[in-house]
Structures are given as C-alpha cells and as structure tokens.
A and B are shown apart, each in its own frame.
Chain A
C-alpha cells in the first residue's frame, strides 16, 4: 500500500530552527507538496519539490531525496504564528495525491 509518515507533533522555541521530516512509500513519484494549516483554517500551499535538492523560500526551505523517499521542511527564525499543522503530500504515478496525517508544530516563547 501507499504510505506517508511524518511525526504527529513537534515542539520548538521562538527564534529557533525546526525540521519536519516526511518519508513516503508510493507507487511512483510525480512531486511532493508541503501545506500549512492553522487551526480552523484552510490548508495553504508552501512548497513543491519534484527534483532532488533544496528549495528555499524566505524562512522556509524544503528538501527532497527521491532515492531515499524522504523530504523535510525546514523553518528558520521561528515565530509564534508558525504554530500550525504541516501536511506532506505526494503525487504518485497516476497523479493521485497521497497525504500524510500532518505534523502539529507548537512554538513556545
């Protein structure tokens, strides 16, 4: 079966750096997405990786290794507003979007 694993919950300190990991086992690969979802709000698009390497976008970066079936989302200079759930999703060979259960990130002052 197809599966995406990410930690259920993480805690970090304001101003620090945190890395949220995502590992996947899917039938084929056509790209990996990260979405952010604040409590009670819509998931919003953060990043899309289809080639290996690091994509940087301001304080957020996303890394992909297709050979390892692995991605991470790196958040720098954490702010209280970064407290949210982070969803990892993979397009498989049929362009079906397979979702992880999400990682709840708690930022402490």
Chain B
C-alpha cells in the first residue's frame, strides 16, 4: 500500500449509530488531517494532528471525535450524527517543516450518508 488509504469508502448510518472512519498513511509524514467536503463548498478543516498531538479543532461538533494512536493512523469516530453531516470525509497527511508551507497528500475519502 502506498500513499493515504481510507476505509470504508462508503458508509450509510442511522442517526443513532456509532461508526468509525479509518485513515492510514504510508509516507512517513508527521501531520494528519480530517477535512469535510460538501458539494460546491470549500474544504472544511476539522482536525489536525502534528506529531500525534491535536493542534487544531475548528469548533467541530462533539459528535465527531478524532483519534491519532500513532503517526501513521488516524480515526474519526462518529456518534449520533445528523443528516447534514452527510458528506465526503477526506484524510490527508503532510510533512510539516520549519518553513510552514507543505503539500497535502489526500486519501480518496469516505462517502458518508446519514439517514
């Protein structure tokens, strides 16, 4: 496996379910990200982990809970979601250096539908 892998690719869940999205990066990067992508809207940054510590949480509802057990794995735990949470959830990784600007490598995303 190379790059950034996300599972599952598609997920349908009810509002009372609990599910998790998984992301794995094989690039040796030191930062991982969760983004939400909705149709015709800009990418929304949800969470950032740098060196396995969460550094940003852009006021995301608590029904989304991230977990980063090591530098290669990232999870997004989902609990009592709303229909408006239906979207494509993208995971990305990057190598953050002192200069700040860095290229993100994305996974193909998990398409979530909340019924």
Contacts and interface: CB of A to CB of B under 8 A. Distances in A.
B106 A50 contact: no
A99 B109 CA distance: 17
A100 B42 contact: yes
Contacts, number: 46
A97 B108 contact: no
B101 A99 contact: no
Interface residues of B, number: 17
A101 interface: yes
Interface string A24-65: 000000110101000011111100101000000000000000
| Interface size of A as a range | 20 to 34
A41 to B, nearest CB: 5
A48 B108 contact: no
A8 interface: yes
Looking at B42, B100, B105, B106, the one whose CB has the most chain A CB atoms below 10 A away is: B42
Contact of B43 (A8, A41, A95, A99): A99
B81 to A, nearest CB: 22
A54 B58 CA distance: 34
A31 B42 contact: no
Interface in A86-102: 87, 89, 91, 95-102
24 contacts: A4-B42, A8-B40, A30-B101, A41-B108, A42-B90, A42-B105, A42-B108, A42-B109, A43-B90, A43-B106, A44-B106, A45-B103, A45-B105, A48-B101, A87-B43, A91-B100, A96-B45, A97-B45, A99-B43, A100-B42, A101-B40, A101-B41, A101-B42, A102-B40
Interface of B: 3-4, 40-43, 45, 90, 100-101, 103-109
Interface of A: 4, 8, 30-31, 33, 35, 40-45, 48, 50, 87, 89, 91, 95-102
